[in-house]
Amino acid sequence: MLMRKSFCLKKVLKRHKQLVCQGQTSSPIADMAKAKLYIVYYSLYGHVETMAREVQRGANAVQGVEATLWQVPETISNVILQKMKAPAKADDVPEIRPEQLIDADGFLFGFPSRFGVMAAQFKAFFDATSELWERQALAGKPAGIFWSTGFHGGGQELTALTAVTQLAHHGMIFVPLGYTFGSGMFEMNEVKGGSSYGAGTYAADGSREPTELELQQAFHQGKYVAEIAKKLKNKPLSA
């Protein structure tokens, strides 16, 4: 009787493996291990959005990770946005509500700098997460940050340092880039944003777009944080 049950189980597993190979079903083990990485950003003129999409590409390059783009709500009226000549928001990226953060296993937050701190739109979003803070619903989840500034000395490192306080109060685990990007961190022949705190770019007067090197760093950061989020998903911290 036991041998018959074992034989039947082997047949079922063999058939399931065939279906997986044919794309008719997914592996329950793979589904269980998949980590959700939320890339949440605010972008006024598109520089941070460009970086965010590259971060997503890097994160989705990690098997077992699903990276999703989200943008925080705009606080400037359409009339003012038109006067500022700001482009339309990406219609393929939904706005996120604070309570949706709970569904993610890890985060990458991106924003432009305003006087050395994150843009007010992103700060307003974090201010709306007080209910999550009260329950420490995001504690233990890894999070990285990326940004844009106008020029050298415009807050490339200060913006990152001031943003870390938001993560700390939620109990999130800040994941800096370190020097894992390798030789690209030491490039001195061209202007490059970013630092050991995360990927970054310069917007200058708005006409400068992220360079290939900056996009490579963003891709690397997405992949790096995704790998860490996946590890913590499969081996969660003890309560």
The β-bridge relationship of strands 106-114 and 200-202 is unpaired
User: Model confidence over 7-64: pLDDT tens digits?
Assistant: 444 553 454 455 444 444 444 444 557 899 999 999 999 999 999 999 999 999 999 9
Q: Compute the distance between CA of residue 39 and CA of residue 173 in angstroms, rounded to an integer.
A: 15
Q: Tokens 């794309």: give the residue.
A: 23
Q: Which domains does the chain have, with CATH numbers?
A: 36-234 (3.40.50.360)
Confidence band for 160, pLDDT divided at 50, 70 and 90? very high
User: Model confidence over 198-217: pLDDT tens digits?
Assistant: 999 999 888 899 999 999 99
The DSSP result for 57-87, as a single string, is HHHHTSTTEEEEEEEPPP-S-HHHHHHTTPP
